[in-house]
Structure 1
Amino acid sequence: MASLLPGTDSHILADPPRLDFLDRQTLRLIRPMTALEAWNAVMARPLPLMALAFRLRDAVSARFGVRPIGGFSGARRQAVKVGERLDFFLVEHAAPQVLVLTERDRHLDVMTCITTSGGELAITSSVITHNRYGRIYMWPVAPAHRLIVRHMLRRMAQG
């Protein structure tokens, strides 16, 4: 974990000026929960078309030597440890209120940090691209990511 987003407890890959993408979205929690419980709640109701989007991503990315990630399984986890995987993400840090997940390849590094503190859930994603493919990949992914997280949090709030 390289850095904390200033003014938050959210981990990011590097200081904000060095990032190629940064998004932090929050939701007021109706009850206290751990970061893993928040992950389970967000993943419990997958957005329509997400499976198709991941299949498309995997098909296109395979042409550039990127391993398939397959998407989100929706499987609930009771516990996770550093070094384990939550779907395609590597767990780099696991504490009751902070869950740091990464996916790294030769094109880009992605870190998603889920925090639950002060009655708030925050999902913070940061990306550093390494080459032209990583930058091109992020053109459609950046705005889509913001919308997807917004809708996932909205669905979680609705129960």
Structure 2
Amino acid sequence: MKPGEVLKTTFPAGSRILLAKAGADFSDSYRFASAEPEASALEQFLTLSARTPAWMNFLMSLRNQVVGWVGLKDLGGMAVSDSRKPASSYRPGDRVGIFTLQYADDREVILEDRDKHLHVQVSLFRLGEAELQMSTVVHIHNRLGRLYMSVVGPVHGLIVPMMLRQRGNVR
């Protein structure tokens, strides 16, 4: 796979995120070349997070302002707040950018966000050394979640591939 190439695909066999996909209201998965073949899944997620484009941080800021009007939580920015913290020191339950660490081993990291309107899980899965796969699963809890995903779902399919293509461009 060429650097910068991002392919929408099925969920990877052997991934723990597959367990969460059953009954999901939204899911997608993208395969792309690894920039750090020797790094663990969490290390690679931290690198991706640190390279969040400025436009994405702007969109998150806008999202946080708008959803506050309907009582949803402010997630903050995409990037991890303490970029010096080594991946090996993270434990389940720790915050990792806008997410909470749910599971991590060398091959896969699963992060999540739970709010009253939905439950989002994101997996970064190593496909050997040369490729990664980012998968998202969303379970909607109520009408607010359906409304939220009616806006975010279509945009998600545009933003995630763009972010993965631009991951080498540090803000």
Q: How many pairs are equivalent?
A: 154
| Equivalent residue number for residue 138 of structure 1 | 149
Counting only pairs closer than 5 Å after superposition, residues 1-159 of structure 1 correspond to structure 2 as: 5=11, 7-12=13-18, 14-16=20-22, 18-29=23-34, 31-74=37-80, 75-76=82-83, 77-79=85-87, 80-119=90-129, 120-156=131-167
- Superposition deviation, residue 102 in structure 1: 0.5
Amino acid at match of 1:39: F
- 3-state DSSP class of the match of 1:90? strand
- 3-state DSSP class of the match of 1:156? coil
Structure 1 gaps of 5+ residues are none
- Superposition deviation, residue 139 in structure 1: 1.5
Mapped partners of 2:32, 2:107: distance in 1: 14
Structure 2 gaps of 5+ residues are 1-10
Mapped partners of 2:54, 2:114: distance in 1: 26
- With over 3 angstroms needed to count, the CA separation of the structure-2 counterparts of 1:73 and 1:29, relative to structure 1, is closer
CA RMSD of aligned residues (A): 2.2
Mapped partners of 2:33, 2:137: distance in 1: 21
Amino acid at match of 2:104: A
Once structures 1 and 2 are overlaid, which stretch shifts more, 112-121 or 149-158? 149-158
Amino acid at match of 1:112: V
What are the superposed Cα offsets for residues 71-123 of structure 1, whole Å, 9 maximum, x if unpaired? Answer: 22354341211111101211111111111101001100000011113132111
Identity rate, percent: 32
For normalisation by structure 1, the TM-score amounts to 0.84
What are the superposed Cα offsets for residues 49-76 of structure 1, whole Å, 9 maximum, x if unpaired? Answer: 2222112211221122111111223543
For normalisation by structure 2, the TM-score amounts to 0.79
Mapped partners of 2:168, 2:77: distance in 1: 22
